[in-house]
Amino acid sequence: MQEDLRGLLLAQPAIAALCGVRIYWGKRPQGGALPAIVLHVVSNVSSYAFSGTIGLDITRVQANIFGESYADVEGVTRALKTSISGVRAAYGATVFEGIFFDGRRDRPIAGVSDAGASFLISTDLLIHHKEN
């Protein structure tokens, strides 16, 4: 799911226009260009019926948006939300049954080891997905 989610985000024109290919899992390369999105899996829950797993997972992904200005991070946040909120699509080996925003936090950059970034917005995405 991780590779396919990154691919799905990169395929969105509004996101690509602002971030290019700067969408990473785990950590942004030190000194890399901004704005950028860094993704982290927070939790993953499988769905079950009485007969067992039904193959649908719900994964919470935190998307940290780093930028040099508040306008940068706000623009990427808006592009992310308008591009993929409610999306149902197959991408790569993953069927995304729905992507939903579940909160936003404007966070101080102090204490975050991400050289060059001055502003940070964190959003949570609830991703309902299954493998093809």
Write down the pLDDT at residue 105: 93
CATH number of 24's domain: 3.30.2000.10
What is the pLDDT, as a whole number, of residue 52? Answer: 80
Residue 6's CB: how many other CB atoms inside 10 A? 18
What pLDDT, on a 0 to 100 scale, did the predictor assign at position 115? 57
* pLDDT at site 111: 56
The parent domain of residue 9 ranges over: 2-131
Q: In the prediction, which pLDDT does 122 show? A: 96
Q: What is the pLDDT of residue 39?
A: 98
**Residue 40 and residue 49: Cα distance in Å, rounded?**
28
pLDDT lower than 50: segments of the chain: none
Note the pLDDT of residue 48. Answer: 81
Are 74 and 121 in contact by the 8 Å Cβ rule? The answer is yes
Q: Give the total number of structural domains in the chain.
A: 1
C-alpha atoms less than 13 angstroms from C-alpha of 5 in its C-beta half-sphere: 28
Strand order across the beta sheet in which 94-107 lies: 23-25, 36-49, 52-67, 119-131, 94-107, 89-91
pLDDT for the residue numbered 32: 87
- Count of alpha carbons within 13 angstroms of residue 57, beta-carbon side: 15
| Residue 77 near residue 122 (C-beta atoms within 8 A) | no
- The pLDDT value recorded for residue 114 is 54
- The answer to whether the pTM exceeds 0.75 is yes
Those residues whose C-beta lies under 8 Å from the C-beta of residue 41, and which sit 6 or more positions away, are 2, 59, 60, 61
pLDDT of residue 77: 97
